[in-house]
Amino acid sequence: MKKNNFYLFLTETNSQKIFDFLIQSPGNKFIEKEIQKGAMVSKPGVNLTLKQLMNKGLVQRSKKGRMYFYEVKNTPFVKQWKILKNVSLLLPLVNKLKEDVRKIILFGSWGRGENDLESDIDIFVLTNISKENIKNIIRKNRFAKKIQLIVKTPVTFSEMEKGDPIFFNEINQGIIIFETKEWV
């Protein structure tokens, strides 16, 4: 079986650090020195990896005066990669919540892969326990201050479809990051 060089490339240490640094600030342009500092990668490592990322079509370079600036391209692959990263960052929280909930949906910019460092994290939780109990679990998470929590029971969620259909659809277009088939 032929190895997936593209996947291997993205999981190598330097390329992963640099790519992750760039996707955190979509639309921002950085010089090599800023990337080196932000990604904590050596100067030669940054230079080599940026060339590879450009060859893969993930990063673009522009010149202003004598300076080169780099930014991540806004491609479907980049968005999907960000979504994967976002979900993986939330897994510890999901593992703490899953005993008490029926469904957890990530929506908004984090669910679409359009988030930046300033974005809040929109999370919908379907459960029969109180919002305060869910908040107590979330307070211990490193993203607690960024999380915008919506907690509904199955009954109140189904009522949302008629009462607030736009918001209901926004939630339903999100990513289900946990769902149980068994409901206690």
More confident residue, 5 or 141: 141
Domain-wise residue ranges, the chain: 5-74, 77-179
Region 132-148: mean pLDDT is 92
Q: Which CATH class is domain 5-74?
A: mainly alpha
CA atoms within 13 A on the CB side of 162: 4
Residues 100 and 127 sit within 8 Å (Cβ to Cβ)? yes
Architecture of the CATH domain 77-179: 2-Layer Sandwich (3.30)
pLDDT the model gives residue 12: 63
Judged against a pLDDT cut of 50, whether residue 61 lies above it is answered with yes
pLDDT the model gives residue 106: 98
Region 132-156: mean pLDDT is 92
Residues 169 and 106 sit within 8 Å (Cβ to Cβ)? no
pTM (global) more than 0.85: no
Judged against a pLDDT cut of 60, whether residue 110 lies above it is answered with yes
SS3 49: helix
In angstroms, the Cα distances linking 78 to 18, 126, 152 are: 13, 29, 32
Collect all residues with Cβ–Cβ distance below 8 Å to 34 and sequence separation of at least 6. none
| CA separation for the pair 84, 48 (Å, rounded) | 25
In angstroms, the Cα distances linking 148 to 82, 138, 164 are: 19, 10, 18
Region 12-39: mean pLDDT is 89
